[in-house]
A and B are shown apart, each in its own frame.
Chain A
Amino acid sequence: MWLWFSKLGSPKWFYELSGRWLPWLVAAMFAFLFVGVVWALLFVPQDYQQGLTNRIFYVHVPVASISLAFFPLMAIAGTITLVWKMKLADIVVKTAAPLGAWFTAFALASGSIWGIDTWGTWWIWDGRLTSLLFQFFLLIGVVSLRSALEDSDAAAKACALLSIVGCINVVVIKYSVDWWNTLHQPGTDFVLSSNKANGPDIWVPLVLMIGAVYLFFAVSMIMSTRNEILERERRSQWVEELVDNL
């Protein structure tokens, strides 16, 4: 277990392992995306109130829900950075922040465009929308904090701390729809029986899209983590050998 843990922290080991996994993850991502998008756009029946705007649900919900995973991920990696100074953990904190900002921005934008016709407004200072906008600014804050601090050790510590504190906002986002019930609808439980309003013909494509977006998240994170490893380890022997063999 400890051997595995210390190996996982080794950039070289991660670089080699992720290089073997990446093609499979990319293939799975495109497969899930293709089936999910075709199903959502062509086959899902229209909603009795919102008509065909329910197509937006299948991209908005996966991206918005996975956007909540960024702060917990960065907080775990940040804690590992603070306690064990593992090289790889700080790289994860660094690469997750801008991707998280993209996720949050897309969740806000797609929600706004959906709201234009279904809510009659593209923006309202509702609990869910406001706390998600706050998450966007927090993530931009983590990105700029790192570029503002010259000393990379201090930057790693500061970003780790901000990531841990930022988790409080995730709890607010999650329960915002129950605490302040304004326009954004609360969470929904899905049912297995297909004669219910939200049966499998509604949620199976959603599950596919959630899988697709998770795979995209993994692929993009791994790609930028590998880039960061190459830059930070450029003086190490294994990177020099890798470059020589090009």
Chain B
Amino acid sequence: MLEGEGIGAASDAATLRAVAYELKQPLIRIARQTELDDASELPSIRQNAEDALRLIDSFLLTAQSEYGQQSLNLEPLQAGAVLYDVSQQLKRQTSVAIDSRVHEAVMTHRSALASILAVFGDIIGDLSSHVVLRSYKTRNGAVGIGVFGATKLTRADLRQAMELQGNAHAPLGKINTQSKIPLSIAEGLCRAIGGTMTIKHMGTLSGLATELPRSEQLSLV
């Protein structure tokens, strides 16, 4: 790599981080100010501010990884713990169950994985009144983690959703592209944690999942 390229990328990453911090500050003020009063509209204002903060953090994680200046620090984590955290968020908006079929750890980044599952939850929650957060083993020994519902999603639906994002005049596809965190950020986060984003069918349910390598470190314990 040329020296100049490296400096440019580092500077872009630093600018991005600085802008993200400045954007977050007023949103933090709004979110926390809503806790001072009991007016009925305040919880939804807080929710909107916290959703925007989550979007900025998710974008920042993706961008840091894409710039190549900072790879995400992956750590061995039990999938069930992350599924539980995400279920607590999702249960505010829909009926949620957890089906954790994998007890080994995966190499991942906790907040990136939580953001990915929150996006999947938003999308599947739009298509199904009940969602299942599930971890499963894949044929090649990886661990899949995803959100499933009583819906029939196809790879074509996913491809169409990725193409429609940000295009105001496009016809609406099956997958809602107006989720709080865009699908492209979820896909970027999947790549950043060494996984893939995929459509998965399990029994009568189908959903969106990311498939990750297992943590050899904890498997040996």
The answer to whether A and B interact is no
A residues touching B (Cβ–Cβ < 8 Å)? none
B residues touching A (Cβ–Cβ < 8 Å)? none
